[in-house]
Amino acid sequence: MGVLNKNAVYPYTFQYINTSYDSLKVYGVKDGCDCTESKVKRGVYLKNDTVLINTEYHPGRYNDHGLINKQIFLITNREVSTFDTLLPLVLKGNIN
């Protein structure tokens, strides 16, 4: 994300393309902390469909500063990562 101001809100959209399965059911998304708010359209995504995960990061909620790594987890019915049915997505940045 780059250099961030702790008083701002930063939107970001992750894109996950289902390249492995004929169908992938997305149950939802879980934020790693209260400083992120994420939404995803639940449902079935066919092969080559793109899943959009809309996230907002609020660095001022925890007075974050310095280098940050925030995780958001896409929850599915298929093995999408080494975490099995969870796909970790990471926001990285540096807070002034």
CATH assignment at residue 60: 2.60.40.10
Helix (H, G, I), strand (E, B) or coil at 84: strand
What is the amino acid identity at position 31? D
Residue 2: pLDDT band with limits 50, 70, 90: low
- Say what the pLDDT of residue 11 is: 94
Q: Phi and psi dihedrals of 63, rounded to 5?
A: 55, 40
Reported pTM: 0.86
Residue 50 pLDDT > 90: yes
**Considering its fold, how many domains does the chain have in total?**
1
Only one residue has tokens 């939107």, namely 11
Structure tokens at 55: 């996230």
Residue 1 pLDDT > 60: no
Spell 13-51 as b/e; 16+ CB within 10 A means b: ebebebeebeebebeebebbeebbbbebeeeebeeebeb
Q: Which domain holds residue 17?
A: 3-95
Question: Average pLDDT of 46-55?
Answer: 97
